Amino acid sequence: MLHWRFSISASPTGAPIQQQQAVYVDIPESQDAAVQQSAAALIPQLKPLLAGGAGGSSAAKKAKKGFGAKTAGGGGNGGYQRFAVELPVADTSPAATAALALEVLKLLPGAPAAWQIVYADPAAAAAAARAGQARAQPLRDACRAEALGGPLLIVSPTIAEVALVEQLVQEVWSGPCAVALNPSWGEGVPREYEAVVRSFEVAYSFMPVAIKGLVGGQEGAVLRRTAKGGSLAGVPWQILTVQRDGRFLQVGQMKTRPKQSDLELAFMNASAASSPITGAVRSAKSILDRVRGAGKQQ
């Protein structure tokens, strides 16, 4: 069962969306499948960064400059050092959060014990410690450390913790790569922290959504994933709606993360396009055009 991460109310506003011909898209059928897909997206990005051992490769050190954003010659496929993965969750309890983090780590390069695991939720950090994650600690405690090294996993940070995340990656931690698992900082980030949020390039995102305000409501998802072993550069964000037969139809595509207004507009346009009334109007217009054309020929 997938957890619908957020719902929004439809409104007539929205930013322009890069539309393409609608296609059906295969989505992960379970949380486990989404975890597998996210790992497949991360592995080619992390391997070059971890190739130099605990200290990281020279490419990783180059990539760290400038908030770890894309730089020439650094990082994995595209020069990134920091990544984000967004997965649907059915259980947000501390124990489930710790279990998800360990499940992801088991699929990534290097031994799970080599990673620094930092939890935004202290209760999740405590659950992780009870489960045997020796290097797990709360975010606030990590920020008080004199120094941290090695690959870093930051679990479920929110907008409320974005200042602590910046402190951690800028002042405390120094390592080859960092991954934010299920960050909740998509919109509403204070301007002074936008740079650090942007430094975490989204390697994989599958986020179910529900739109309220339309007739009967609509459900769908936002999906971003690379082809196997592919680069993150230019990977689009796909906006999908659930059809009556259960398949997911692409109704929009964007170069940047869709905002709430983008989702509203895409869903309303898709609803209008499939409406019987819209179809009747199109048919009537087509008939009138033919009649007018015939009249001109007489």
Whole-angstrom distance, CA of residue 133 vs CA of residue 124: 11
Q: DSSP letter at 151?
A: -
d(CA 168, CA 179): 13
- The CA-CA-CA angle for residues 169, 171, 175, to 5°, reads 50
- Compute the residue count for the chain: 298
Q: What is the pTM of this model?
A: 0.79
Residue 193 has which token pair?
């922290």
> Domain extents for the chain?
6-278
Question: pLDDT of the chain along its 298 residues, tens only?
Answer: 343 343 333 333 444 444 446 589 999 989 999 999 999 999 999 999 998 654 444 444 444 433 444 433 334 555 689 999 999 998 999 999 999 999 999 999 988 889 999 999 999 999 999 999 989 999 999 999 999 999 999 999 999 999 999 999 999 999 999 999 999 987 789 999 999 999 999 999 999 988 776 556 788 999 999 877 678 888 999 999 999 899 999 999 999 999 888 988 888 888 776 554 444 434 444 444 544 555 555 5
User: What letter does residue 26 receive in the DSSP assignment?
Assistant: -
Is residue 76 within 8 Å of 196, Cβ to Cβ? no
Six-digit token string for 148: 């941290």
